[in-house]
């Protein structure tokens, strides 16, 4: 059995993505790790950081992004597909540049891949998510934040990254362009990986979070729309009161130790109190989301009204 790891990104280091740590986190269980990097800015150090890993398993490939050809975030899926197609393993483990796996979960993942290798009904493995917010001690467990997602798929040419690369779908006769296509596509049949993804995409200094949000919105809405949002000052970033989230009392992945030690924006965070009224409420601060979260966590014990892009098998 062979496992390939893969990821993609552009200006990842400049935008405060722990891509190097993502790669390092799974290197012990993969036979190769494919890294596809876009046309980074001259002052970006992503390639240098990734190559500093110094492993023959890590293979870096350069590409060019085209958000006009692949608008609405589809360039993310396109680049993910480029990386996927370069993989040679039986199972393909995808990590976005801000996703890291704990070393305690590596034996579990490897064991699940081995025991499900010949069960061809299983097309992928589903991971549990921890979405950190503001710092490394608080994470979301509120409605609207996906609890699970597919991060391992079979090496099957009909399986493609989907929409903005959050997930995967089976797309027969794919035209290579419309990554948001729904008609004629199929949700993957998956089993639980029984492992976690530590998602650090919302843990940045506020000024870096603003820069990342602008870049993300440019990829989704285009340059003109983002210029208008900038004119309206819609990118000022405030994490809000952190005591509205859950506290994380366990350990982070060991590969994140030095990265977490760089944390130096505590004085810019609000720990308690009401949110500032001069900014729109974040999703988790809105009354309807708070009510649904209450029902999910204390009444029904499961997500409500959430779209699931998978078919979960009992394995």
> For the chain, what are the domain ranges?
3-202
Q: Rounded mean pLDDT of 218-225?
A: 75
pLDDT over threshold 90, residue 244: no
| Class for the domain spanning 3-202 | alpha beta
Among 89-98, 173-182, 233-242, whose mean pLDDT is lowest? 233-242
What mean pLDDT is predicted for residues 275-295? 85
Between 68 and 276, the higher pLDDT residue: 68
Please tell me the pTM assigned to this model.
0.94
pLDDT at residue 153 is higher than 60: yes
Over residues 123-147, mean pLDDT: 95
User: For residue 158, what are the CA distances in angstroms to 118, 131, 180?
Assistant: 18, 29, 15
What pLDDT shows up at residue 179? 97
Helix (H) or strand (E) segment spanning residue 241: none
What average pLDDT score do residues 229-249 get? Answer: 79
The residues, any chain, with a CB within 8 Å of residue 106's CB and separated by 6 or more, are 26, 28, 29
Q: DSSP readout, 256-295?
A: GHHHHHT---GGGSB-SSPPPTTSPPPGGGSHHHHHHHHH
* Average pLDDT of every residue of the chain: 93
Cβ contact 91:119 at 8 Å: no
Name which residue leads in pLDDT, 237 or 86.
86
């Amino acid at each position: 059995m062979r496992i390939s790891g893969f990821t993609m990104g552009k200006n990842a280091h400049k935008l405060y993505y722990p891509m190097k740590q993502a790669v390092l986190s799974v290197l012990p269980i993969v036979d190769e790790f494919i890294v596809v990097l876009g046309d980074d800015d001259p002052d970006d150090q992503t390639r240098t950081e990734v190559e500093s890993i110094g492993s023959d398993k890590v293979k870096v490939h350069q590409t060019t992004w085209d958000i006009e050809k692949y608008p609405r975030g589809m360039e993310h899926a396109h680049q993910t597909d480029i990386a996927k197609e370069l993989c040679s393993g039986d199972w393909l483990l995808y990590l976005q540049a801000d996703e890291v796996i704990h070393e305690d979960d590596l034996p579990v993942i490897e064991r699940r891949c081995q025991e499900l290798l010949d069960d061809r009904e299983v097309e992928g493995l589903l991971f549990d998510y921890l979405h950190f917010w503001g710092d490394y001690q608080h994470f979301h467990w509120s409605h609207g934040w996906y609890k699970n997602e597919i991060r391992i798929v079979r090496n099957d040419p009909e399986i493609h990254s989907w929409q903005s690369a959050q997930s995967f779908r089976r797309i027969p006769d794919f035209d290579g362009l419309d990554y948001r296509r729904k008609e004629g596509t199929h949700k993957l049949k998956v089993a639980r990986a029984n492992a976690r993804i530590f998602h650090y995409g919302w843990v940045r200094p506020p000024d870096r979070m603003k820069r990342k949000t602008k870049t993300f919105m440019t990829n989704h809405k285009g340059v003109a729309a983002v210029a208008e949002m900038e004119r309206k000052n819609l990118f000022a970033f405030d994490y809000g009161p952190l005591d509205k989230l859950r506290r994380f009392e366990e350990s982070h992945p060991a590969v994140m130790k030095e990265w977490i030690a760089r944390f130096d924006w505590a004085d810019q965070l609000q720990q308690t109190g009401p949110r500032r009224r001069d900014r729109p409420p974040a999703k988790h601060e809105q009354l309807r989301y708070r009510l649904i979260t209450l029902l999910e966590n204390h009444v029904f014990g499961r997500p409500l009204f959430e779209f699931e892009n998978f078919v979960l098998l009992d394995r």
